Amino acid sequence: MKRQFHKMHGLGNDFVVLDGREQPIEMTPALAKALADRHLGIGCDQLILLEPSEHADVRMRIWNHDGGEVESCGNASRCVVALTGAGTLETGGGIVEGGKIGAEIEVTLPPPHFAWDEIPLNYPMDTARLPLGWGPLDHPMALSVGNPHLVFFVDDAAAIDLDSLGPSIEHDPAFPERINVNVASIRDGEIHLRTWERGAGLTLACGTGACATAVAAIVRKKVASPVRVHMRGGELTIGWAAGEPIRMRGSASHVFKGEIDLEQFV
Ligand SMILES: N[C@H](CCC[C@H](N)C(=O)O)C(=O)O
């Protein structure tokens, strides 16, 4: 049966958004992966499905390019707020609040978690400075912003071969649910970030990666809040203080809408 979809992106991190609120859609990892395929499907970094919610204006479910369902997606949160006008989103990572600020969208993610078993890691470690290293990357901070992230600080993030280092870190046995890998440099009080995303690889931007990196940089007193985060696809402004939710402000873009026969993939 044909269903309408919206093709959207947040700073080049792109999504296919399906709305299952009126007519439910049975999403599976295989169907999500087929829709996300850039040759055989529509193509996207993450597949987003909207469903009714008893706890928020809308439930937002997220599948990565590889078909894995995950808890949070910062860039998609802004896109769903822009598309639906929802003020609250129920996600696997908690309730996200959102609203328009001029031409941009601001969303607020629940406070981060730093405990090893909440990230999660496979065994107890000092999550502020993991005693682990992979080539030129070592002693990252580990945290959860609804989804799991590692944050490495280096002199020049652009010089790191994240294409080869990313997969081995993502799949390291220390991370039972795998992990998103952020490599950042600080210049003039601003963050320059590249992210190898769990289940999607190098993306042009990562909203939760920007949030996790900003929190880590503030904890390590490398920057002050709010902080500008520069990524290949564009910039976000992130605000946070200890114990507080994380505020992220940036653009959300609607590219086109179309329709697709989902049964061709099953
Ligand atoms: N790859 C992430 C999900 C998408 C996050 C990213 N696209 C964002 O904007 O936050 C994960 O597996 O946790």
The residues, ordered by sequence, that sit 6+ positions from 56 with a Cβ below 8 Å of its Cβ are 86, 88, 89, 90, 95, 96
Looking at residue 113, the DSSP 8-state letter turns out to be B
Q: Is the CB of 185 under 6 A from ligand 1?
A: no
Q: Which of 63, 78, 162, 180 to mutate to test the pocket of ligand 1 (most atoms within 8 A of CB)?
A: 180
Total number of residues shown for the chain: 266
**CATH 3.10.310.10 domain locations along the chain:** 2-107+251-265, 133-244
What atom in ligand 1 is closest to the CA of residue 178?
Answer: 12
* Helices 207-219 and 74-84: angle between axes, nearest 10 degrees: 130
What pLDDT score was predicted for residue 14? Answer: 99
Q: How far is the CA of 44 from the centre of ligand 1 (A)?
A: 12
Residue at token pair 């890998």? 181
Kindly report the protein residue whose alpha carbon is nearest to atom 11 of ligand 1.
Answer: 198
Q: Whole-model pTM?
A: 0.98
Tell me the ipTM for this assembly.
Answer: 0.98
Q: pLDDT 10s per residue in the chain (266 long)?
A: 899 999 999 999 999 999 999 999 999 999 999 999 999 999 999 999 999 999 999 999 999 999 999 999 999 999 999 999 999 999 999 999 999 999 999 999 999 999 999 999 999 999 999 999 999 999 999 999 999 999 999 999 999 999 999 999 999 999 999 999 999 999 999 999 999 999 999 999 999 999 999 999 999 999 999 999 999 999 999 999 999 999 999 999 999 999 999 999 98
Give the 3-state secondary structure of 161-224: CHHHHHHHHHCCCCCCCCCEEEEEEEECCEEEEEEEECCCEECCCCHHHHHHHHHHHHHCCCCC
CATH topology of domain 2-107+251-265: Diaminopimelate Epimerase; Chain A, domain 1 (3.10.310)
Q: How many CB atoms lie within 10 A of CB 189?
A: 11
- DSSP SS3 for 12: coil
First to last CA, the chain: 11
CATH superfamily of 133-244: Diaminopimelate Epimerase; Chain A, domain 1 (3.10.310.10)
